[in-house]
């Protein structure tokens, strides 16, 4: 049984993993690439089997015994099990969160219906079961048992990537040449030496080319100066972040509103077409999807804009690390859901320091996705305690944090 890593105590160095992405493997000859391409369909098919197994029948287990026949080696089989378990674990976590949101929305609907305060045209929430994820993109998350990165000593390349294939005893040697910004990221600025690269690597295939992702660990000790200033943050929609000194970070500009309007109209047209075809008896698997590539790009663009706003706010106030935004559904919360989340945060910060405090005044006009994205970072990272005031109070959400702190993650 794998031991769980202990969480570092206050003042102790904490381990942060950094990724070095977009390393192109374009200098490999066609023969080696064809051998790697022959490995992909067999590996992805095995991963898909374990994803389906862990999503429908069994709980995700990276140490699950092999139960499917394949032409891959035992080491590749183990890597496929680990990747399938990781994908299924993320899927189960997201599904449970969505189902909990559905239960909260349904409970709020029942309360309003019992009190006779149900808005006109309101409909009871319906739960739609999630589909099992399909591995459409080519992605291999491998470890040193099947893919090994070896430093180059007698060539113009920086590394050699040794990959085991379907042919036993005939591994591939793919040259890896780093760009200047890759070398800068992998060099320790204090010592000037190359950092120790982790043994796990990721291989992706985009637009006919193979790309490599490396990672390294860094030990960081969070430090907060006693005279560090305090800044208040308000989370909004027109401006993503507004600080107590009057600065705004990130906004929904005119072009972004137009893109969102076009995407909404496109989804409505697709929904009407889907409904008409469904009435005509077209099978469900042949109905067009309401999702689109432009909608996914728009969602990704919005997340990046929020991410930039948070990082810019951190940089201007002396906070070293950055925050990555996860996908969240933008929906207006009910007091029941907001209070539930706040109570959960209080339970997690019960044993933290009482020197700092973060207050969240939650109303119907404050999106819960914004609170989940910003307040946990502002509260949990800097050992704050969270308190919830009356739901009928003035709408605002303010996090009090100390500049100079470092974002170390939360659970």
Tokens 């969160």 correspond to: 97
Rounded to whole angstroms, the Cα distance separating 154 from 222 reads: 41
Give the start-to-end residue ranges of the domains of the chain.
20-93+133-219
Phi and psi at residue 294, to the nearest 5°:
-65, -35
**Tens of pLDDT along 85-129?**
999 999 999 999 999 989 988 998 898 888 888 888 888 888 999
Q: What is the DSSP string of 168-236?
A: TT--EEEEE---HHHHHHTB-TTT-SBPPBPS-EEEEEETTEEEEEEEEEEEE-----TT--EEEEEE-
Residue 257: CB atoms within 10 Å: 10
Q: How far is CA 50 from the centre of its chain?
A: 21
Rounded to whole angstroms, the Cα distance separating 402 from 397 reads: 17
Q: Say if residues 336 and 107 touch (Cβ distance below 8 Å).
A: yes
In order of 10, 50, 137, 151, 244, the CA distances from 148 in angstroms are 36, 24, 22, 10, 50
Write out the two tokens for 355: 């020197």
Phi and psi at residue 136, to the nearest 5°:
-90, -35
Question: For position 148, what pLDDT does the model report?
Answer: 93
Question: For position 314, what pLDDT does the model report?
Answer: 81
Residue 251: CB atoms within 10 Å: 14
- Residues of the chain below pLDDT 70: 1-8, 10, 318-411
Tokens 């200033």 correspond to: 229
Q: Say if residues 133 and 52 touch (Cβ distance below 8 Å).
A: no
How buried is residue 203: exposed, middle or buried, by Cβ count under 10 Å (0-12/13-18/19+)? buried
Q: In what order do the strands lie in the sheet with 147-151?
A: 147-151, 159-163, 172-176
Q: Say if residues 224 and 382 touch (Cβ distance below 8 Å).
A: yes
Question: How are beta strands 248-251 and 230-235 bridged, if at all?
Answer: unpaired
Checking phi first, is residue 246 left (phi over 0); if not, alpha (psi -120 to 50) or beta?
Answer: left
Rounded to whole angstroms, the Cα distance separating 80 from 54 reads: 12
Write out the two tokens for 173: 């040697």
> Per this entry, what is the length of the chain?
411
Q: Say if residues 186 and 151 touch (Cβ distance below 8 Å).
A: no
Question: For position 91, what pLDDT does the model report?
Answer: 95
User: Which residue from 60, 59, 58 is spatially nearest to 84, judged by alpha carbons?
Assistant: 60
Question: For position 4, what pLDDT does the model report?
Answer: 59
- 40 DSSP 8-state letter: H
Q: Give the CB-side neighbour count of residue 360, counting CA atoms within 13 A.
A: 31
Mean per-residue pLDDT of the chain: 76
Write out the two tokens for 383: 């050992």
Claim: this prediction has a pTM higher than 0.85: no
């Amino acid at each position: 049984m794998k031991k769980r890593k202990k969480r570092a105590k206050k003042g102790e160095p904490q381990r942060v993993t950094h990724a070095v992405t977009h390393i192109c493997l374009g200098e490999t000859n066609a023969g080696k690439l064809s051998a790697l391409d022959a490995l992909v369909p067999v590996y992805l098919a095995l991963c898909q089997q374990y994803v389906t197994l862990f999503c429908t029948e069994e709980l995700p287990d990276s140490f699950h015994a092999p139960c499917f026949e394949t032409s891959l080696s035992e080491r590749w089989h183990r890597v496929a099990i680990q990747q399938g378990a990781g994908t299924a674990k993320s899927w189960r976590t997201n599904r449970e969160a969505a189902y909990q949101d559905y239960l909260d929305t349904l409970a709020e609907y029942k309360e309003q219906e019992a009190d006779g305060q149900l808005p006109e045209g309101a409909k009871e929430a319906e739960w739609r079961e999630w589909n099992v994820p399909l591995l459409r993109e080519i992605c291999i998350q491998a470890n040193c048992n099947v893919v090994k990165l070896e430093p180059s000593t007698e060539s113009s390349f920086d590394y050699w990537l040794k990959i085991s294939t379907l042919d036993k005893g005939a591994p591939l040697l793919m040259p890896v040449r780093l760009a200047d910004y890759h070398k800068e990221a992998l060099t320790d600025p204090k010592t000037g030496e190359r950092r120790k690269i982790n043994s796990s690597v990721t291989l992706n295939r985009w637009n006919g080319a193979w790309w490599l992702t490396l990672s390294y660990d860094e030990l960081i000790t969070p430090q907060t100066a006693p005279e560090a200033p305090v800044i208040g943050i308000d989370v909004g929609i027109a401006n993503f972040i507004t600080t107590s000194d009057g600065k705004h970070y990130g906004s929904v500009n005119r072009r972004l509103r137009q893109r969102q309007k076009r995407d909404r109209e496109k989804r409505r047209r697709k929904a009407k077409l889907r409904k008409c075809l469904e009435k005509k008896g077209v099978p469900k698997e042949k109905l067009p999807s309401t999702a689109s590539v432009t909608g996914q790009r728009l969602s990704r663009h919005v997340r990046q804009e929020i991410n930039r706003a948070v990082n810019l706010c951190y940089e201007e106030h002396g906070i070293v690390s950055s925050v990555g935004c996860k996908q969240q559904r933008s929906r207006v919360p009910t007091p029941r859901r907001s209070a539930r989340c706040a109570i959960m945060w209080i339970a997690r910060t019960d044993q933290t320091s009482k020197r700092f405090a973060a207050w969240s005044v939650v109303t119907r006009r404050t999106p819960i996705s914004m609170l989940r994205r910003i307040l946990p970072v502002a509260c949990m990272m800097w050992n704050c305690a969270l308190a919830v005031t009356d739901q009928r109070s003035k709408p605002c959400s303010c996090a009090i944090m100390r500049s100079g702190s470092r974002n170390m993650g939360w659970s």
